[in-house]
Amino acid sequence: MQTNTTSAQPKKLLDQVRDKIRFKHYSLSTEKTYIAWIKQFILYHHKRHPVEMGSLEVEAFLTYLATQRHVSSSTQNQALSAILFLYREVLVVNLPWLDNFERSKKPRRLPVVLTITEVQALLQATSTAPEPIGLVIKLLYGTGMRLMEAVRLRVKDVELERREIIVRDGKGGKDRVTMLPESLAEAMRVHLALRRNWHEQDIILGKVDVWLPDALAIKSPNASKEWGWQYVFAAKNYSIDPRNNSERRHHIEEKQVQRYVKRAAQAAGITKPTSPHTLRHSFATHILQAGYDIRTVQELLGHSDVATTMIYTHVLNKGGKGVISPLDRL
């Protein structure tokens, strides 16, 4: 009697990277970004395996990005982060040069801030945007949330009665509380009622499910079907989760919001480069202009260091730091 013995084939390198990223609970966007940069790094060096390479190859790739592709310092640092993750977390290679590798310095630039008049014109231009896109855009300015924080908002984290929103797992893995604008409370109530109808339809169709963070899906297997865990701004159509191939209702795409903000800025005649994040900058600046202290704004934005929030003080006053030009004194 013969027995067939099959040895398990070792996983491909990129599959190992995916496994490690998911083990560490990194976001899907981070997974896609890291995989893309690692692919480019390997292809640039003619498909050599990373264990055969070192500091010279990493430096050559980063130099290529800067001198030939003319990427920004933040993009170059993003590529470096992906490569360091590959060596430290996946290959577990102890290379002394990793610790001494210097990141390119990001130039310190003032944030783009819209005036109150420009914000009014922008929001007016988004009145034709399909819901809930228009509501999301208003929330970005009214709460100071980042775009991904808004589209990933869960039902349980919207407090209509207390007029507050709990931002879970923000940048740096921190939670914080921000306000729910009084002017948006009724619109949010109406939207949640519509969203509840979708949830009930999903139950009937047997498609009620939502992605859950960390190990919550194992600890509470029924949580993904509960109303409180559903995305507030869910997509109209179902989609396939690339991590486990399950069919579920995901949140709306952030690119939709980005497109409508850009269109609205053009329609409003705003010449400044405007994105959803510009509304967060405008929120912070206008709050400071209204007389609120810097620490309060820091908490609302979720900044770890008040120095990060202090940059908005540079765009507070009119003109150069609020100084009256001598020409105006003539």
CATH code: domain of residue 43 = 1.10.150.130
Q: pTM for the whole thing?
A: 0.78
Residue 93 lies in a domain: yes
pLDDT value at position 3?
47
* Same domain assignment for residues 123 and 90: no
* Same domain assignment for residues 78 and 133: no
- 109 as an active site residue: the answer is no
Residue 330 lies in a domain: no
Spatial neighbors of 102 by CB under 8 A, at least 6 apart, are: none
Active-site residue, from 20, 138, 191, 303: 303
Active-site residue, from 88, 156, 163, 171: 171
Percent of the chain with pLDDT over 70: 88
Residue range 292-309, pLDDT digits in tens: 888 988 899 988 888 888
On average, the pLDDT of the chain sits at 86
- Alpha carbons 191 and 132: distance in angstroms, whole number: 8
What integer is the mean pLDDT of 49-54? 90
Residue 305 lies in a domain: yes
* Same domain assignment for residues 37 and 174: no
* The total number of structural domains that make up the chain: 2
pLDDT value at position 129?
85
Residue range 54-110, pLDDT digits in tens: 888 988 999 899 889 988 888 898 999 999 999 989 998 876 666 666 666 666 778
- The closest alpha carbon to 289, from 164, 116, 106, 73, belongs to 116
- 138 as an active site residue: the answer is no
Question: Of 100, 133, 150, which residue sits at a domain end?
Answer: 100
pLDDT value at position 33?
94
Active-site residue, from 87, 141, 231, 312: 312
- Alpha carbons 160 and 184: distance in angstroms, whole number: 10
- Helix-strand-coil split of the chain, %, nearest 5: 55, 5, 40
Active-site residue, from 20, 146, 199, 251: 146
Active-site residue, from 191, 248, 251, 280: 280
Query: Which strand (E) or helix (H) includes residue 139?
Result: helix 133-143
Show the domain range for 130.
Answer: 116-189+231-314
* Same domain assignment for residues 57 and 123: no
Residue 110 lies in a domain: no
* Alpha helices (runs of H) in 52-101, residue ranges in sequence order: 55-67, 73-85, 96-100
Residue range 274-291, pLDDT digits in tens: 999 999 999 999 998 888
Q: Indicate if the pLDDT at residue 186 is higher than 50.
A: yes
- 303 as an active site residue: the answer is yes
Confidence of residue 145 (pLDDT cuts 50, 70, 90): very high
Question: Of 100, 134, 166, which residue sits at a domain end?
Answer: 100
- Alpha carbons 176 and 17: distance in angstroms, whole number: 31
- 176 as an active site residue: the answer is no
- Alpha carbons 5 and 279: distance in angstroms, whole number: 61
* Same domain assignment for residues 254 and 288: yes
Q: Which of 66-75, 206-215, 254-263 has the lowest mean pLDDT?
A: 206-215
- The closest alpha carbon to 17, from 68, 77, 76, 85, belongs to 85
pLDDT value at position 328?
67
Residue 215 lies in a domain: no
Residue 246 lies in a domain: yes
Q: Are 260 and 133 contacting, i.e. CB atoms less than 8 angstroms apart?
A: yes
* Same domain assignment for residues 93 and 131: no
Residue 225 lies in a domain: no
* Same domain assignment for residues 92 and 141: no
Q: Indicate if the pLDDT at residue 201 is higher than 60.
A: yes
Give the DSSP letter string of 261-309: HHHHHHHTT--S---HHHHHHHHHHHHHHTT--HHHHHHHHT-SSHHHH
* Same domain assignment for residues 252 and 153: yes
* Same domain assignment for residues 245 and 297: yes
What integer is the mean pLDDT of 261-270? 95
- 174 as an active site residue: the answer is no
Q: Verify cis geometry, omega within 30 degrees of 0, for the bond prior to 132.
A: yes
What integer is the mean pLDDT of 162-179? 88
pLDDT value at position 5?
46
What integer is the mean pLDDT of 304-330? 71
* Same domain assignment for residues 160 and 259: yes
Residue 18 lies in a domain: yes
* Same domain assignment for residues 123 and 85: no
Residue 47: which region, alpha, beta or left (left: phi > 0; alpha: psi -120 to 50)? left
- Alpha carbons 328 and 119: distance in angstroms, whole number: 28
- 168 as an active site residue: the answer is no
* Same domain assignment for residues 175 and 281: yes
CATH code: domain of residue 243 = 1.10.443.10
**Which range, 3-7, 69-73, 112-116, 246-250, has the best average confidence (pLDDT)?**
112-116
How many CA atoms lie less than 13 Å away from 27 in the CB half-sphere? 11
| b/e map 248-273, b = 16+ CB within 10 Å | bbbbbebebbeebbeebbeebebeee
Rounded to whole angstroms, the maximal C-alpha distance in the chain is 106
Cα dihedral 86, 90, 96, 102 sign: positive
